[in-house]
Amino acid sequence: MGHDPLSSLPHGLSFRFVDRILELTPGKRVVALKNVTLNDPNLQGHFPGNPLMPGVLLVEAMVQTAGLLLPEGSSAVLAQIKEARFRRPVVPGDQVRIEAERGGGLGMLHRFTVRAGVAGDPVAEAEVVLAITAPADGGS
């Protein structure tokens, strides 16, 4: 039974911002974790003496989480970010809980509501649209 949903992400390990899946309802909803550590390479220069996870990488983590809900075998790119809001910085030691829910879709475009939180407090949310660039085996 050993299919690991994280293996479906096309990102190399150095650019993967999802560490673990907590819940997965295929095609509908996923909850994932990202552990932020001082050893994360992107924190070394952002900012020296006051490290925090760049907002763009927090969005990337939310988009990667949403990508776990795409049809197996498909590839997609980020097409749109709407209504992104950042509530507080994410710093080393934080465990970011990321939730993605699939909304509607039209053709190759898929809309998701994504949220990130730390210790029950919201840190970011957005609506993102992913465009499938290579359909799953067998078509649509």
pTM given for the model: 0.92
What average pLDDT does the structure give for the chain? 91
Q: pLDDT digits over 90-137, tens only?
A: 999 999 999 999 998 899 999 999 999 999 999 999 999 999 997 665
Give the burial string for 2-21 (b: 16+ CB within 10 Å, else e).
eeeeeeebeeeeeeebbeeb
Distance of CA 37 to the CA centre of its chain: 17
Strand partners, 131: 77, 109
> Tell me, what's the pLDDT at 3?
64
Which residue, among 97, 114, 106, has the nearest Cα to 21 in the 3D structure?
Answer: 97
Distance between CA atoms of 125 and 90, rounded to whole angstroms? 13
The proportion of the chain whose per-residue pLDDT surpasses 90, expressed as a percent, equals: 71
Could you tell me which residue, 75 or 22, shows the higher pLDDT? 22
Helix (H) or strand (E) holding 64: helix 55-67
Residue 30 has pLDDT above 50, yes or no: yes
* Superfamily of structural domain 5-134: Hotdog Thioesterase (3.10.129.10)
Cα–Cα nearest to 36, from 89, 78, 113: 89
pLDDT band at 2 (very low <50, low <70, confident <90, very high): low
Structural domain spans, the chain? 5-134
Q: List, by residue number, the catalytic residues.
A: 46
The share of the chain scoring above pLDDT 70, in percent, equals 94
